[in-house]
Structure 1
């Protein structure tokens, strides 16, 4: 059936719409639209204050400001529909014929853009995808307002081709792609909301476990969204069995390392042998774990450099975890004094030098041991514990060494220079 005859020509629709703006009742529509804007803004502002969302800039519903999120245009669209239904009984509509399509496009753009910014903020192609969503939404709004949308849909429906026993039209392909995109964006939205709720105020082992749950939840939702999207497009899911077998063979041969890293990532997060915030040493590189992803782990050294370590390496090789039992780290420095020095005084001075630093723990406190009888003097080892190794170690060791040097000089204790005896043999 050809539906194009049931739709007025675009020129007649445009003329009728322009004539509506000449009616006095258009001011009633403008007043109603202004009231809807004020009510939507006030409701969004109150909800933002009541829920304490002023500082949560990653919120999809609220955004960085009242009008930046999805909530404001969504409320405005709902109020617009109510106002249009109420005014339709009393006055001819002109303003709301444009306002409703514009608000629908605005909601679509807000949802797509905000979800992508929250879920895929680090992806380089997010900006291009945001522009694509905006252009598609505004193009649909223009076609809707101008009355060309049914005509364009009918023309797209007439472009068909046969694939096997199925006949597919261009309209079906476009509608399926848009529906699939909407389903995937919804899945990203839900998974991002769950991840934000799980990771909020989580630290240590609890953070690692919640990270594992959020990764698994996102993967599951994306998989379900993909299945629904393929069903909407019209792809027979039973045909994916052959594809699944091919993927299994590919993982077994070509993607073995990749699959191993993903499995290792979930194992690390589940058993919590390494957690976000732990200080570890892997393959000679020491630093603090800043993130554990499904495929790799990011380790940041005290110097600021970052190492991306595949998760399989953390499972199959030896890893020193300095924070597994507790976060306390033992440091030491060696001091050499002359053999005729007062040993008891040296021990007291070294302990006092360590205790002057607030980062040094008092329980257990610092300890001093006569560690060796050196070639040039007595060697003492000053050992102490700290609870914040992520704040650096070199600066603290330097401060303690400077304090030791000042104390020894103030008490007349000699730090010996290397001494060597040279025997001169007379020539006959």
Structure 2
């Protein structure tokens, strides 16, 4: 519904009144600058800013060199030192101006430092907001909250809150019973941004504590972190919208209808989400496990809400939907423990002693790094082939993340060296071809031989 002319006229009048109030405040401020002590205070502030600038030029390089020499410090401490280095001029200016205000109030009247107090309050508030917004990781959101905070504290310190609020609230759009003003939008962005940053900070802090708790399994750690993210971020949005006066009860019916529609249209997405929760609860897989699904072999990097990230030995990263891990066959090489048994087959000549072959094969396998000594290797005869006696060699490892193909190759190479040392041969298929006397090939050969004899005669 579009606003009518009768509704727009009062809003336009309120906006003009608020604008005239701001213009009057600006004229009063400009006229105050012509007073002698006001001008002196502004000159003092400019002088202090120049001193802070020079001090920053002298101290910043030394601080930078000192920071580079801090080896072994935590990363969070280095980041805050970088922030202090970037805001060094503002810090020096704030310290100097408060010292000057304290001294001037001791030797002269308090009214002689009124403008300096306003400048000091503004500089201090801006500096604190700059530090606080560093907790916001998103660059765009950080700038919005920072500049919005600077504008808000400036208006508050200058005593223009009512005038600016009235002007922003007058610029509004009415849609039925819903009235959206510029003030409401700015408040929503600022409040939700601050609460979102606080929720992000709390989530990161809780994630660090949960990750450092060895009593919680990796899968439960992921589930706990995702649950906290949902609670913290949802609470931030809910409180932010309620704080600016938006009635959320009317959204209940709309959200229900949207939920029904999404349930039909996003069945696969919902199935993957539910499957992800099941995987986290039953602890069948967890970050760091080595699994095989289909033709894909690798270790799990992360458990996502929709997919599982698996990295293979060749550096490829596969995103496997959670539903496939629930419905398909998955080989988890490190589910209950990290012990993995590997089998390799080989053959030796019939002329070699099988007792010696078994002894040499076991010793060769046990000498390979990564093969476990506490779980001895075994070697068995599996059959008598056409040209070799067939064996199977079984050994154990405890680090499947280190690869399976490479350890098999190392054991084969150890067998090759051990067999060469003990004179054990590895046969290969040989075929003997006989030509029958009355076959076509034999008759052709005989004819060719007779023709050759006649030619020689």
* TM-score for the superposition, normalised by structure 2: 0.74
Q: 1:152 deviation in Å?
A: 4.5
Q: Which residue of 2 aligns with 1:257?
A: 268
Q: Which residue of 2 aligns with 1:326?
A: 337
Q: Which residue of 2 aligns with 1:358?
A: 369
Q: Which residue of 2 aligns with 1:120?
A: none
Q: Which residue of 2 aligns with 1:338?
A: 349
1:255-301, CA deviations, whole angstroms, 9 ceiling, x for partnerless residues? 22212222221221122111111111123212111111222111112
Segment of structure 1 superposing worse, 418-427 or 8-17: 8-17
Distance, in Å, in 2 between the alignment partners of 1:166 and 1:65 is 44
Distance, in Å, in 2 between the alignment partners of 1:295 and 1:407 is 50
Tell me, yes or no, if the aligned pair for 1:13 and 1:146 is still in contact at 8 Å.
Answer: no
Distance, in Å, in 2 between the alignment partners of 1:365 and 1:94 is 85
Q: Secondary structure at the match of 1:348?
A: helix
Distance, in Å, in 2 between the alignment partners of 1:421 and 1:393 is 39
In the alignment of these two chains, the number of paired residues is 395
Segment of structure 1 superposing worse, 372-381 or 84-93: 84-93
Tell me, yes or no, if the aligned pair for 2:192 and 2:240 is still in contact at 8 Å.
Answer: yes
Distance, in Å, in 2 between the alignment partners of 1:311 and 1:415 is 46
Distance, in Å, in 1 between the alignment partners of 2:357 and 2:339 is 26
Q: Which residue of 2 aligns with 1:270?
A: 281
Distance, in Å, in 2 between the alignment partners of 1:384 and 1:353 is 11
Structure 1 residue 226 corresponds to structure 2 residue 237: yes
Q: 1:162 deviation in Å?
A: 2.1
Tell me, yes or no, if the aligned pair for 2:145 and 2:194 is still in contact at 8 Å.
Answer: no
Q: 1:96 deviation in Å?
A: 5.3
**Alignment match of 1:281 (pick from 269, 292, 302):** 292
Distance, in Å, in 2 between the alignment partners of 1:350 and 1:389 is 22
Unaligned runs of 5+ in 1: 39-44, 117-125
Distance, in Å, in 2 between the alignment partners of 1:187 and 1:65 is 20
Segment of structure 1 superposing worse, 91-100 or 368-377: 91-100
Tell me, yes or no, if the aligned pair for 1:180 and 1:232 is still in contact at 8 Å.
Answer: no
Tell me, yes or no, if the aligned pair for 1:338 and 1:376 is still in contact at 8 Å.
Answer: yes
Task: Name the structure with the higher helix share.
Answer: 2
User: Given the superposition, is the C-alpha separation of residues 88 and 359 from structure 1 closer, same or farther in structure 2, using an over 3 Å criterion?
Assistant: farther
Segment of structure 1 superposing worse, 253-262 or 135-144: 135-144
**Alignment match of 1:158 (pick from 147, 170, 174):** 170
Q: Which residue of 2 aligns with 1:246?
A: 257
Q: 1:113 deviation in Å?
A: 4.1
Q: 1:7 deviation in Å?
A: 4.1
Q: 1:131 deviation in Å?
A: 4.5
CA RMSD of aligned residues (A): 3.9
**Alignment match of 1:307 (pick from 318, 340, 348):** 318
Tell me, yes or no, if the aligned pair for 2:342 and 2:396 is still in contact at 8 Å.
Answer: yes
Structure 1 residue 54 corresponds to structure 2 residue 73: yes
Q: Secondary structure at the match of 1:420?
A: coil
Pick the structure with greater CA Rg. Answer: 2
Distance, in Å, in 2 between the alignment partners of 1:192 and 1:264 is 25
Q: 1:239 deviation in Å?
A: 0.9
**Alignment match of 1:101 (pick from 122, 135, 158):** 122
Structure 1 residue 11 corresponds to structure 2 residue 22: no
Unaligned runs of 5+ in 2: 1-16, 60-65, 440-457
Q: Secondary structure at the match of 1:247?
A: helix
Q: Secondary structure at the match of 1:237?
A: coil
User: Given the superposition, is the C-alpha separation of residues 233 and 283 from structure 1 closer, same or farther in structure 2, using an over 3 Å criterion?
Assistant: farther
User: Given the superposition, is the C-alpha separation of residues 371 and 290 from structure 1 closer, same or farther in structure 2, using an over 3 Å criterion?
Assistant: same
Distance, in Å, in 2 between the alignment partners of 1:88 and 1:251 is 67
Tell me, yes or no, if the aligned pair for 1:262 and 1:311 is still in contact at 8 Å.
Answer: yes
Q: Secondary structure at the match of 1:249?
A: helix
Distance, in Å, in 1 between the alignment partners of 2:229 and 2:40 is 51
**Alignment match of 2:327 (pick from 275, 294, 316):** 316
User: Given the superposition, is the C-alpha separation of residues 109 and 270 from structure 1 closer, same or farther in structure 2, using an over 3 Å criterion?
Assistant: farther
The 5-angstrom pairing of residues 107-122 of structure 1 reads 107-116=128-137
Tell me, yes or no, if the aligned pair for 1:87 and 1:93 is still in contact at 8 Å.
Answer: no
Q: 1:311 deviation in Å?
A: 1.2
